[in-house]
Amino acid sequence: MDYVDGALSAEQRSEFDRHLKACPSCVAYLDSYRRTVALGKDAASDPASSAVPEELVEAIRRARRQ
Amino acid sequence: MASGRGSRSGADADADRGEPDDRLLLERLRAGDERAFDELVRTAGGRMLALARRMLPREEDARDCVQEAFLHAFRSLDRFDGRSRLTTWLHRIAVNACLMRLRSQRRRPEQSLDALLPRFRGDGHQERDTTPWKPPQESGIEREEVRDLVRARIRELPEQYRVVLLLRDIEGLDTDETAAMLGTTAAAIKTRLHRARQALRSLLEPHFTEGSL
């Protein structure tokens, strides 16, 4: 995760990069890990989920006045 | 340090600029302007409800938490210090309301994530080679279907991992803030986030590898 987040030292990153050049499986894992993070963020960006039901607006209004 | 990026820095930058809309709305709220309260619910409530739905399995609980969050905010307007956007402040209140609801409902021991985590050999390599995922345009799944799929898989994660994934990757809170909210350490948050991402990856893998769909 530190590699993905850019939190490795230059030396550590360099060593990791050298490993990736020789390991297709790790490259595939890293790619799928990054895509997973991106998919999670995209799943939360649905504009259709941004409407407030009118009954909730009314419930909040009523509760505030109590 | 991989923290404090994205939406949080954007919110702080907005506060620094002293957004006039926020200041005016806050004045109206503190003056008891009824239309201002409605306006705030309609503009901020959608995102809060979306967050609550991601954190809580039941729609009823999600709506209750949004209502609780607004009522708490309305009672605490004099304590809002303006260092963040009003909507950011509200969002934090909603997160806390959802966390409290989850704590109050916690009855069963957390299920283990072990079956979803990769296993490694002594030389550091995974026991099982990873199959490359298909490029997005070749997955054969429409974007909205993908979102539904990902949301469903996130809901399958054990609660402590789901919550960290939601707060860090989706709500954009940084590690330290997430740790403070959950009453744990930054190191624990980093570990949980990594495991949550690995587990989600495992749950999504069957849908994105060659031979699927």
Q: Are B179 and B134 in contact (CB under 8 A)?
A: no
pLDDT at B107 over 70: no
| pTM of the complete model beyond 0.80 | no
Q: Indicate which of B43, B53, B201 best probes the interface with A, i.e. most A CBs within 10 Å of its own CB.
A: B201
Q: What is the pLDDT of residue B134?
A: 84
Instruction: Write out chain A residues lying below 8 Å of B45, CB-based.
Output: 52, 56-57, 60
The whole-chain average pLDDT of chain B stands at 83
Nearest CA distance, B133 vs chain A (angstrom): 6
Instruction: Write out chain A residues lying below 8 Å of B49, CB-based.
Output: 49, 52-53, 56
The whole-chain average pLDDT of chain A stands at 85
Nearest CA distance, A11 vs chain B (angstrom): 16
Neighbours of A12 (CB within 10 A): 12
Higher pLDDT, B147 or B124: B147
Q: Which of B118, B133, B169 is opposite residue A40, by nearest beta carbon?
A: B169
CB hemisphere CA count around A4 (13 angstroms): 19
pLDDT tens string B154-211: 988 998 999 999 999 988 889 999 999 899 999 999 999 999 999 999 999 998 886 5
Diameter of chain B measured on Cα atoms: 66
Q: Which of B1, B131, B201 is opposite residue A7, by nearest beta carbon?
A: B1
pLDDT at B16 over 80: no
H or E element in which residue B9 lies: helix B7-17
DSSP-derived letter for residue B155 is: H
* Predicted ipTM beyond 0.85: no
pLDDT at B55 over 60: yes
Q: Are B171 and B98 in contact (CB under 8 A)?
A: no
pLDDT tens string B70-91: 999 999 999 998 888 898 899 8
pLDDT at B26 over 70: yes
C-alpha span between B69 and B48 (Å, rounded):
9
Neighbours of B83 (CB within 10 A): 11
Residue A8: which pLDDT band, with cuts at 50, 70 and 90?
Answer: confident
pLDDT tens string A26-51: 889 999 999 999 999 888 776 555 68
Higher pLDDT, B76 or A16: B76
Q: Which of A37, A51, A64 is opposite residue B74, by nearest beta carbon?
A: A64
Ramachandran region of residue B187, left (φ > 0), alpha (ψ -120 to 50) or beta? alpha
Instruction: List phi, psi (to 5°) of B128.
Output: -120, 125
Q: Are B145 and B152 in contact (CB under 8 A)?
A: no
pLDDT at A1 over 80: no
Highest-confidence segment of A45-49, B13-17, B102-106, B195-199 = B195-199
Q: Are B102 and B55 in contact (CB under 8 A)?
A: yes
Instruction: Write out chain B residues lying below 8 Å of A35, CB-based.
Output: 133, 136, 208
C-alpha span between B53 and B61 (Å, rounded):
8
Residue B120: which pLDDT band, with cuts at 50, 70 and 90?
Answer: confident
Helices B34-55 and B59-75 cross at an angle (nearest 10°) of 140
Q: What is the pLDDT of residue B96?
A: 93
